[in-house]
Structure 1
Amino acid sequence: MASASAPEVVVVFDFDRTIIDWDSDDWVITKLGAADAFQRLRPTMRWNPLMDRMMAELHARGKTPEDIRDCLRSAPLDTHVVSAVKTAAALGCDLKVVSDANTFFIETVLAHHGVLGCFSEIVTNPASVDADGRLRISPFHDPASAPHGCSLCPDNMCKGKILGRIQATGSDKKRRRRFIYIGDGKGDYCPSLKLGEGDHVMARENYPLWHLICDNKQLLKAEVHPWNSGEELEKTLLKLAGEVISPPAQASQFDYSKCEMSNPASCPPSCAALITDQLLVRKY
């Protein structure tokens, strides 16, 4: 555990193409055989309502929520990422997920790999199974009732506003906090701009976040660190966390069992190439 005088380290992970090396929406749509419907509907809909519509399509084809879970469980997760999550949690970092995926997908994957309990909070688009047995996916921000007003982000989610809420509601405001934000997509740029001196952005190299940062380096106050594999993510994250936590802690001294615990708190909406070429139409 970090010493009482050490800053609290808050690590915020994106999910798609960050914790996982693939895109959860694309994986499910492709593996469950709905690529044809996706191709037909993609030009006519925004991503979040499109994913809800695709869940209806899968339901109509006889696919159950458990089929979707099994599909997600079949996907790989880099062992270096699993190790990074468990070790960072054991060292006393506060781990959170902020993602434009959904609760059903994220919690299924993290639970399957034994790391769901490592995270104190998952902030993402809500998902639930309705009375008909159909998976429903809703927007985090409802653009019809309360648009978030950020021009950098999609209308269903502003990660910058979410990060601002996390920054403002620390468990101990008297204790210094240092943020490490890990992401890859365009939607991760807005929260990166919210970080300050002493914070860090781990941007996946040659992905949209990396290019946006490289084009606007003067706008960021946080230190930027590239990564491009699970091994590099683990090495960089643990190095940065170790530089903040003093004296250095030995992960072997800690009980990893908390990562096997029950679900973390999922923030409700009120809180303000493994896929086919046809589905390489990104949501970012």
Structure 2
Amino acid sequence: MAGVVVVFDFDKTIIDVDSDNWVVDSLGATELFDRLLPTMPWNALIDTMMGELHARGKTVHDVAEVLRSAPIDPRVGAAIKAAYGLGCDLRVLSDANGFFIETILDHHGLRGCFSEINTNPSLVDADGRLRIGPYHATPHGCGVGTCPPNMCKGQVLDRIRASSVGKRVIYLGDGRGDYCPSLRLGRDDFVMPRRGFPVWDLICENPGLLQAEVHPWSDGGDMEETLLRLVRKVLVEESRLLPLDCCKLESLPVAAVQDGMPMPLGVKNV
């Protein structure tokens, strides 16, 4: 197995939309959602909205059907499958919830590529109502200021890194919650912020705070090329120390295996 752990955010990273908003809007509850949004934390609001949808007669099956229609760029799916095929350990780290994520990944045949999904817990209760809970049931105490009260992705990433000693991490994300884990990556790691999204803006405010190399991306094709280029970089460096299965490199798309690999994109030139 390659010495690479790839950690993906989910909403607006693997899929092109926010799964919470997608469900609420698709099932006709946007007006109530907008009215309640200023009154409670996001995680609690989504649980409340699942209760409201249930009261309106929407079933878990209805929610699942909507989730299966959430848009995903086929190049993102191709990137995930290629990285998995190259032996990378793939994880999800998301402020969505287990039911939403697993439903979508299963639908696109991607669930088996991931060794772990770190997200807010979910369950269907005895009445058939979907319940959404917080990942951190008690205050997580993160002082960065960009993490929601229910999940500090930085603390989760610390655990992932501690269980993957000797492996290099590639972290992909788009939101404010992805800034804290980006700060915790080491000099041998890589962060892939989505260009033009909140995490990219936060990184650009003070790039010197990050130790990891920064490689921004904009869309599915950009993600695929960048991610596989970084995986290739690690594989090539590993090959200098250990025997490498050349077939793995040959399985990469042509754009990812060309010589003259470009340097990291500087975050100051926006």
Contact 1:13 1:182 in 2 (8 A): yes
Deviation at 1:253, TM superposition (A): 6.5
Q: Deviations over 1:196-250 (max 9, x none)?
A: 1110000000111001101111110000011010000000000000110134543
16, 24, 33: which one aligns with 2:28: 33
Deviation at 1:39, TM superposition (A): 1.6
More contact order relative to length (CA 8 Å, sep ≥ 6): 1
146, 150, 154: which one aligns with 2:142: 150
| Alpha-carbon distance in structure 2 between the residues aligned to 1:113 and 1:188 | 24
117, 125, 133: which one aligns with 2:128: 133
Q: Secondary structure, in 3 states, of the residue corresponding to 1:75? A: coil
| Alpha-carbon distance in structure 2 between the residues aligned to 1:49 and 1:253 | 44
| Alpha-carbon distance in structure 1 between the residues aligned to 2:232 and 2:163 | 24
217, 222, 239: which one aligns with 2:207: 217
Q: How high is the sequence identity, in percent, across the aligned residues?
A: 61
Q: Secondary structure, in 3 states, of the residue corresponding to 1:123? A: strand
Matching residue of 2:177: 187
| Alpha-carbon distance in structure 1 between the residues aligned to 2:75 and 2:114 | 17
Contact 1:16 1:99 in 2 (8 A): yes
> Residues 240, 67 of structure 1: CA spacing in aligned structure 2 closer, same or farther, 3 A cutoff?
same
Deviation at 1:17, TM superposition (A): 0.5
Contact 2:232 2:249 in 1 (8 A): no
Matching residue of 2:156: 162
Within the alignment, does 1:15 sit opposite 2:33 as a pair?
no
Matching residue of 1:123: 118
Contact 1:10 1:95 in 2 (8 A): yes
Contact 1:24 1:101 in 2 (8 A): yes
Question: Which ranges of 4 or more aligned residues in structure 1 deviate by more than 2 Å?
Answer: 246-254
Q: Secondary structure, in 3 states, of the residue corresponding to 1:182? A: strand
| Alpha-carbon distance in structure 1 between the residues aligned to 2:123 and 2:97 | 10
> When the two structures are superposed, what TM-score results if normalisation uses the length of structure 2?
0.87
1:1-284 correspondence to structure 2 within 5 Å: 2=2, 8-142=3-137, 146-151=138-143, 152=145, 153-170=147-164, 173=165, 176-245=166-235, 246=239, 247=244, 249-250=247-248
| Alpha-carbon distance in structure 1 between the residues aligned to 2:61 and 2:174 | 29
